[in-house]
Amino acid sequence: MSVAVIDVREWQTTVDFATGDLIEADEHHLVKLAKEIIAKRYYPGDVDNRSINWVTDTALDLAEAYQPDFLFLSYAQPHFYSLYQRFDPGKWEEICTTIFAEITRLVDLTGFTPVVVGLGDMVPLKERIDLTGLDGLGVATNWSFHYAGLYSPSQADLEQLNSDPRIERVVSKERFSELFDGSQEFLRRFPDYLLVAREGYTFRGFASGMREISRIPAKNYQIPIYTPLGNVQRLVDIHALLDQALPQRKVALILIEGIGQRDFRLPYQLIDNTEHWYIYENSRDHYLTITTGLHFQYGQFPPGHLDHAKGPKYPYSGGFTALPQNTLGRKKGIKSAAVGTRNMITHVAAGADICIECFARQLYNLGTIAIINDPKYFEGRDSPLKLAPA
């Protein structure tokens, strides 16, 4: 079983990660460790600069106490700052400087070989394309910026969207599956049409967030990667690069959201950040493609999908009812740990033995969660986590 320890400031609880049922698991050394770390490391909040240090400090705690072979880190603060705050060049400079200084601090103190990926630059928002006037339903969620789903459109809707200069393409489900293929689950959820905006534009419609936004990801055809492990050409190759390096080397895979070529402060190679015409943008897909080596259409959720049916399993993992099993953190024969400020995406994408992430939604800072992924670590042994509900 997997266990989650939740900390909401001065109060903690331990639950079965798969069901949310309360359990007692205090004697498990990883649970104890997680409790200690998250009790002393309050998450400062998504747009707060101190959340950059929070990632490093928490990772150093984990690295020292657990001695992982693989460390997965996500610094999402630059993304949230750019998205929601009025852009201030001085503050931005401070953010970039802090991030790279923190990465250096982590590497100096732990000796991990860093592989650092800048997930892409952000650009000012030009305009939001309002989908609410259509006959069909335009679904524009917080998970995508240049992509929206369209359901049951009329002919007039399609003509209007096809002639809108802000829209790059309107792709039917059939055309998409012909070109991209995809997993059954992904294609089942795929909207009738996928709308793709030009750079600087994003959609608004059903399920859009209510906060104002100021910057969105650019169309980053290429993104920078720093790696001493060898050459990579494409996003999907990062998985193989690390898979080969582990466990001979201790590797830290570090993702930085909201920073691309423009602000990357390490020597880098550029890698292809696309699949056909699809350009990855800071999101669940980006993370999962990097950690599984599989393009987004082999995952579970297409952009703009309407099916938010949650099963009873994994209540803390967004819509996921089964967690990806082919992530780097689940590699056999290694110890893995993860820390991130991109809430549940961190544990889903990392699949690490122990993962600590913020529990924040729509900028509401609800605390932190540590997930101890027992089945892998205790493979072939009796799990000490078979405990009666509290």
Partner 1 sequence: MRCSFCERRCDLSDDFHGFCQMYKVEEDRVVERYPFRWSGYQSSDIEMIPFYHAYPGTKSLVVGTMGCNLDCKYCLNSHIAKKQVEESRLYALTPEQILKAARLAGCHNIVFGVNEVTVSFPSFLALAKAAKKQGFAVGCLTNGYLTEEAAELLAEHVLFINLSLKSPSNQFYRHYAGINDVGPIIRNLRFFAERVHLEITTPIVQDVNDHEIPEIARLIAEIDPCIPWHLFRLLPEYKMQDYQYPDIKRIEGLLNIARQEVSYVYFSNFVGSKWVSTDCPLCGTPVVKRVALGTCGAQLAADLRVNEQCAGCGYRIPFLKQSASEQVAVS
Piece of 65-73, 117-125, 236-244, 366-374 that binds partner 1 (CB under 8 A): 366-374
| Encoded amino acid at 81, one letter | Y
Which CB atom, from 18 or from 279, has the smaller least distance to partner 1? 18
Q: Is 240 in the site for partner 1 (CB under 8 A)?
A: no
Q: Is 366 in the site for partner 1 (CB under 8 A)?
A: yes
Q: Is 8 in the site for partner 1 (CB under 8 A)?
A: yes
Instruction: Tell me how far apart the alpha carbons of residues 379 and 360 are, in angstroms, rounded to a whole number.
Output: 32
Q: Is 174 in the site for partner 1 (CB under 8 A)?
A: no
Q: Is 361 in the site for partner 1 (CB under 8 A)?
A: yes
Radius of gyration of the chain (CA): 21
Binding-site size for partner 1 (CB under 8 A) equals 40
Tokens matching residue 144:
């995508």
Q: Is 276 in the site for partner 1 (CB under 8 A)?
A: no
Tokens matching residue 224:
């920078």
Q: Is 155 in the site for partner 1 (CB under 8 A)?
A: no
Q: 247: cis peptide before it, omega within 30°?
A: yes
Choice from 67, 93, 124, 132 touching partner 1 (CB under 8 A): 132
Choice from 171, 207, 259, 371 touching partner 1 (CB under 8 A): 207
Instruction: Tell me how far apart the alpha carbons of residues 11 and 6 are, in angstroms, rounded to a whole number.
Output: 8
Which CB atom, from 149 or from 258, has the smaller least distance to partner 1? 149
108: left (phi over 0), alpha (psi -120 to 50) or beta: alpha
In 12-126, beta strands by DSSP E: 12-16, 70-75, 113-118, 122-124
Q: Is 359 in the site for partner 1 (CB under 8 A)?
A: yes
Q: Is 19 in the site for partner 1 (CB under 8 A)?
A: yes
H or E segment to which residue 102 belongs = helix 89-110
157 vs 128, 153, 196, CA distance in Å?
17, 6, 15
Q: Is 130 in the site for partner 1 (CB under 8 A)?
A: yes
- Burial of 36 per CB tally in 10 Å (0-12, 13-18, 19+): middle
Q: Is 206 in the site for partner 1 (CB under 8 A)?
A: yes
Instruction: Tell me how far apart the alpha carbons of residues 7 and 124 are, in angstroms, rounded to a whole number.
Output: 35
Go through the chain and tell me how many residues it has.
390
Judged by CB under 8 A, the chain residues 298 through 337 that form the site for partner 1 are 306, 308-310, 312, 315-316
Q: Are strands 167-172 and 201-204 parallel, antiparallel or unpaired?
A: unpaired
Q: Is 74 in the site for partner 1 (CB under 8 A)?
A: no
Which CB atom, from 210 or from 388, has the smaller least distance to partner 1? 210
Q: Is 50 in the site for partner 1 (CB under 8 A)?
A: no
Q: Which residues contact 355 (CB under 8 A, 6 or more apart)?
A: 72, 329, 337, 338, 339, 340, 346, 347, 370, 371, 373
Q: Is 210 in the site for partner 1 (CB under 8 A)?
A: yes
Which CB atom, from 128 or from 219, has the smaller least distance to partner 1? 128
Report whether 103 contacts 369 (CB < 8 A).
no
Q: Is 388 in the site for partner 1 (CB under 8 A)?
A: no
Choice from 3, 15, 161, 290 touching partner 1 (CB under 8 A): 15
Choice from 97, 152, 154, 233 touching partner 1 (CB under 8 A): 152
Choice from 89, 90, 133, 267 touching partner 1 (CB under 8 A): 133
Which CB atom, from 137 or from 255, has the smaller least distance to partner 1? 137
Residues that bind partner 1 (CB under 8 A): 4, 6, 8-11, 13, 15, 19-20, 22, 130, 132-133, 137, 151-152, 204-212, 306, 308-310, 312, 315-316, 359, 361, 364-367, 369
